A and B are shown apart, each in its own frame.
Chain A
Amino acid sequence: MNYTVVKNNQRISVNSIPVVKYEDFMDTIVSGLMQDKNNHCANYFGYHYESKIKLVCCIADDANHCIYILSSVVDQNIILPSFTAHNLSFEKFEREIHENFGVDYSDHPWLKPVRYPFNANDKSKTIANYPFYQIESEELHEVGVGPIHAGVIEPGHFRFICNGEQILHLEIQLGYQHRGIEQLFLEKKSLLQKTTLAENIAGDTVIGHTSTFAKLWENLCGYTTTPELEFARTLALEHERIAIHTGDLSAICTDIAYQLGSSVFGRLRTPVINYFQQWGGNRLAKGLIRPGKTNFPFTKELANKWYDVFNAYEPDFTEMVKELFDLPSALARLEKTGVVSTEVAESIGIVGMAARASGVNRDIRLSHADGLYEKLNHKPIVKLHGDVFSRALIRKEEIFQSIEYIKQLLKDIPENLKYETNLNTPEPGSFVISLTEGWRGEICHCAITDYKGELIMYKIKDTSFHNWLALALSVRNNEISDFPICNKSFNLSYCGHDL
Chain B
Amino acid sequence: MPDPDTNLPSDSSRDIPAGPETQTPKSHTPPQANDASQRAVIIRTRGLKKSYRMGEVVTHALQGIDVELYRGEFIIILGPSGSGKSTFFNMVGGLDSPTEGRVFIDEVDVAQLNAIELAFLRCRKIGYIFQTYNLVQYMTCLENVTVPMAFAGVDADEARERGLELLDLVGLKERWFHKPIEMSGGQQQRTAIARSMANLPSVLLCDEPTGNLDLKTGDEIHKILRRLNVERGVTVLCVTHDHRLIGMADRIMWIRDGMIERLANRDEVTVEAGSIGGQENA
Same complex origin of A and B: no
Please give the residue numbers on chain B whose beta carbons come within 8 Å of chain A beta carbons, in ascending order. Answer: none
